[in-house]
Amino acid sequence: MSLLAQAWQWLIDAQQYSGDGSIPIRLLEHLCFTFAALGLATLIAIPLGYFIGHTGRGALWVVGITGAARALPSFGLMLLLVLVLGVSARLWAAILALVILAIPPLIAGAYAGIQQIPRATIDAARAQGMTEWQILFHVEVPLSMPLVFGGLRGATLQVVATVTLVAYVGLGGLGYEIIQGIPLRRFDQTIGTAIVIVALALVLDALLAFATKLSVPKGVSAGRLADVRAKDAG
Amino acid sequence: MTLHKRTKLFTGLAVATGLVLTGCAAEEPSSETIVVGSQAYYSNEIIAEIYSQALEGAGYTVERAYQIGQRDAYLPELESGAVDLFPEYTGNLLQYYSPDADARQADDVYAALQDALPEGLSALAMSPATDQDSYNVTAEFAAANGLESIADLSGIDGLILGGSPELEERPYGPMGLLETYGVTVAFDATGDVTVEALREGLINVANVYSGDPRIADFALVTLADPRGLFLASNVVPIAASDIADELAVIIDPISKALTPAGLVALNLLSTKDQISPADIAAQWLSDNGF
């Protein structure tokens, strides 16, 4: 039997769906880490990205730093933080490492989301007498949504994949089954779990792709239609 | 850029790429060359380097194929003859080839390993040095509970055992502790931070390799294993059978000279003093009169 077929057998075995270390529980742990890290990272990165995009201040160093941060080795960062903060705080150390990894794509999305808005649109809003806050919330934020979701998609993929590593410091998640399976030569377990992680990443990405589509403001789609009509008439 | 120049450029690039590619591929060693391999484990690489330098001292040409990874990666290389000599560990290797082996004591494990090895591979004389799983507690915990052996753990409530995730399923893990010693433990997969977790009190018992310098560094107490829960795992060189006798002349005295404490000292030079395997090996060889 091929390895993939064995992995499939392992996946559909009812034994994997009950008890302490079952797939649903590992999946739940995995999702908890993913959402906790993404939530915290969003709270930090989106306002920061908007601030930079709106004011244009600090754009250069933030783009530089976030670019460099993408090169951080995730496992090294996590282990370092666990050792620095102490093993008793390993839960927070691991989440902090994931947050640090999720921030760069989120900032880039929020910042680029505002950057790409045509200057004329924002000037027009200002000429209408809108305050800076009104411009931010009624013009810039809605128009930035597709790119913000794009950033969130990137961050989600990175975090879902990296949560696999928290098992190295004893925090469970789906990675546990992989890290346990390799030395025991249980390749059905290893590959089966890898398939679950890939499926999870694809599902989350598809959901966010859908949300990205929904996030395009009505006015923008309406504007596009108007353009088409103008072209036909001409 | 003219067409001619472009052709030249591409030819140059193609030749360069070809050179790089051949450089990446492992070269076929000549018959006189001994290929010494090692695991992707710093301690194993130091032992491999000691073998290499000793062979070079005896006039052989040595090719080093270090950091090949774990058994699934390098044993096929050994079996195919691409690697001639490899430092191994009796118990762990025996468990790889025959997972159900019931030998536990050093000599029994060595004998069983000789039977279990596939054709074409031979075990040279084993070394007294061991690098095997062991259960460790902090000195305070040992003193407070009067612990000397694993058996003394029975009767202590709320024990938490820490180790890598696979320990949960190993025969010497929580289940083995209960069966062999009647000790009940909860399991925490502390993974790469097991020693730190033990020192911070998150776990009471930690699975640490006996060759790990941190046992001495942090004054951990290794619990004795009178009933043979763990397989003894001595350092043993595995060689291609056709040159095993020839290599044994040089390697056997080294295995004999490498003691358990000596191995820990070698590891310490690497982890604490950050000395390269080559320098550690050279120093050890000259210190031991080779």
Is the distance from CB of A24 to CB of A17 less than 8 angstroms? yes
Q: What is the pLDDT of residues A133-182, one digit of tens each?
A: 999 999 999 999 999 999 999 999 999 999 999 999 989 999 999 999 98
Q: Which residues of B touch A179 (CB under 8 A)?
A: 164-166, 191
Q: Does residue A4 sit within a domain?
A: no
> How many domains is chain A built from?
1
What local confidence, expressed as pLDDT, does residue B156 receive? 92
Is the distance from CB of B83 to CB of B36 less than 8 angstroms? yes
Q: Which residues of B touch A90 (CB under 8 A)?
A: 193
Q: What is the pLDDT of residues B9-44, one digit of tens each?
A: 677 777 667 666 655 555 444 457 999 999 988 999
Domain range for A134 is: 22-233
CB contact under 8 A, B193 and A169: yes
Q: Which residues of B touch A169 (CB under 8 A)?
A: 190-193
Q: Does residue A44 sit within a domain?
A: yes
CB contact under 8 A, B189 and A172: yes
Q: What is the pLDDT of residues B37-89, one digit of tens each?
A: 999 889 999 999 999 999 999 999 999 999 988 888 899 889 999 999 999 99
Distance from CA of B27 to the nearest CA of A (A): 29
What local confidence, expressed as pLDDT, does residue B27 receive? 47
Is the distance from CB of A162 to CB of A197 less than 8 angstroms? no
Q: Does residue A8 sit within a domain?
A: no
Q: Does residue A31 sit within a domain?
A: yes
**Which of A85, A169, A188 has the highest number of chain B CBs within 10 A, making it the mutation to test binding with B?**
A169
What local confidence, expressed as pLDDT, does residue B284 receive? 95
Query: For residue B278, what pLDDT band results from cuts at 50, 70 and 90?
Result: very high
Q: State which CATH number among 3.40.190.290, 3.40.50.300, 1.10.3720.10, 3.40.190.10 fits the domain covering B33-130+233-287.
A: 3.40.190.10
What local confidence, expressed as pLDDT, does residue B30 receive? 47
Tallying the residues shown for chain B, one arrives at: 290
Distance from CA of A196 to the nearest CA of B (A): 19
Query: For residue A184, what pLDDT band results from cuts at 50, 70 and 90?
Result: confident
Q: Does residue A96 sit within a domain?
A: yes
Give the start-to-end residue ranges of the domains of chain B.
33-130+233-287, 133-222
Q: Is the ipTM of this complex over 0.85?
A: no
Per-residue tokens: B81: 């003859």
Rounded Cα–Cα distance for residues B224 and B149 (Å):
4
CB contact under 8 A, A170 and B190: yes
What local confidence, expressed as pLDDT, does residue B25 receive? 54
CB contact under 8 A, B189 and A180: yes
What local confidence, expressed as pLDDT, does residue B18 receive? 65
Per-residue tokens: B269: 């030079």
In 3D space, the residue among B33, B62, B36 whose CA is nearest the CA of residue B48 turns out to be: B36
What local confidence, expressed as pLDDT, does residue A229 receive? 47
CB contact under 8 A, A170 and B188: yes
What local confidence, expressed as pLDDT, does residue B128 receive? 94
Q: Which of B168, B192, B202 lies at the smallest CB-CB distance from A79?
A: B192
Rounded Cα–Cα distance for residues B21 and B15 (Å):
10
Mean model confidence pLDDT for chain B: 89
Higher pLDDT, A201 or B15: A201
Q: Which residues of B touch A170 (CB under 8 A)?
A: 162, 188-191, 193, 197
Work out the average pLDDT over A124-130.
94
- Which positions in chain B have a beta carbon within 8 angstroms of at least one beta carbon in chain A? 70, 72, 162, 164-166, 168-170, 188-193, 196-197, 200, 202
What local confidence, expressed as pLDDT, does residue B8 receive? 73
Work out the average pLDDT over B163-173.
91
Q: Which of A79, A87, A176 lies at the smallest CB-CB distance from B197?
A: A87
In 3D space, the residue among B102, B106, B109, B68 whose CA is nearest the CA of residue B85 turns out to be: B68
Q: From start to end of B90-210, where are the E strands? A: 121-123, 133-137, 160-162, 186-188, 205-209
Higher pLDDT, A159 or B6: A159
Q: Does residue A1 sit within a domain?
A: no
Provide the CATH number for the domain around residue A94: 1.10.3720.10
What local confidence, expressed as pLDDT, does residue B2 receive? 59
Assigned fold of B133-222: D-Maltodextrin-Binding Protein; domain 2 (3.40.190)
CB contact under 8 A, A170 and B191: yes
Residue type, A214: L
Per-residue tokens: B120: 């074409």
Q: Which residues of A touch B164 (CB under 8 A)?
A: 179-180, 183
**Which of A25, A83, A180, A187 has the highest number of chain B CBs within 10 A, making it the mutation to test binding with B?**
A180
What local confidence, expressed as pLDDT, does residue A99 receive? 95
Q: What percent of chain A has pLDDT over 70?
A: 94
Rounded Cα–Cα distance for residues A77 and B61 (Å):
41
Name A157's Cβ contacts closer than 8 Å, sequence gap at least 6: A201, A204, A205
Q: Is A85 exposed, middle or buried (0-12, 13-18, 19+ CB in 10 A)?
A: middle
Mean model confidence pLDDT for chain A: 89
Q: Does residue A7 sit within a domain?
A: no
Lowest mean pLDDT among A56-60, A211-215, A216-220, B165-169: A216-220
What local confidence, expressed as pLDDT, does residue A234 receive? 40
Work out the average pLDDT over A53-65.
84
